[in-house]
Chains A and B, each alone.
Chain A
């Protein structure tokens, strides 16, 4: 099983809403990643978790709050987002020395 599952596939939320994106993998990977991708741009790294601890935060605004409850799950909690935060949010996982597998992403629209 080389699948990274992201839910939901699509999400529309208001600027005052609180929502969460979920990511799950069962490959035993101990590194998990969140990326943000705007249209026609490459994915931009947001956060990296290694062994369930936050190891990299690429200066992401606090309205994005990651959480890694266990080695298989990664969440991204969203609060008070702006319309410019609308994007494709991608999750990935890997061992620390092998290829990363990506999910199909959550298409987020902030209205």
Chain B
């Protein structure tokens, strides 16, 4: 019952911006968009989340379309250490909606 759709894989040249798309056309008004990544055999790492405004932190930027049906995670200057599987997840913010359900994600490979 994954609510998000992501491309299975992407490549990006080292030093360039990596743009990872996500479709979440059934998102509801009380759901955030979260992004996590998982480097091989490690626990998932939180990257960023947002509700409807664009967000930026030290790791990435998150661009959410005005209708909230899709978003893009931007890694501004990709490095080899950014090679990982990236998961886009929608999650409610009300008590009782703590469920965090992973979809199949995008395997991002940074090319030297």
Contacts and interface: CB of A to CB of B under 8 A. Distances in A.
A15 interface: no
Nearest to B101: A45
Given A42-B104, A101-B46, A96 B98 contact: yes
A23 to B, nearest CB: 11
Nearest to B97: A96
A29 to B, nearest CB: 10
A56 to B, nearest CB: 6
Interface in A16-33: 31, 33
Nearest to A97: B93
Interface string A74-111: 00000000000000101010101101111111010000
In this complex, the interface size class of chain B, counting residues with CB under 8 Å from chain A, is: 20 to 34
Interface of A: 4, 31, 33, 42-45, 48, 50, 55-56, 88, 90, 92, 94, 96-97, 99-105, 107
Nearest to A105: B43
Given A42-B87, A88-B41, A99-B46, A50 B98 contact: yes
A94 B91 CA distance: 12
Main SS of the interface on chain A?
A: strand
A44 B85 CA distance: 15
Interface in B72-102: 85, 87, 93-102
B102 A42 contact: yes
A102 B98 contact: no
Given A42-B105, A43-B102, A55 B43 contact: no
A102 B99 contact: no
B45 to A, nearest CB: 7
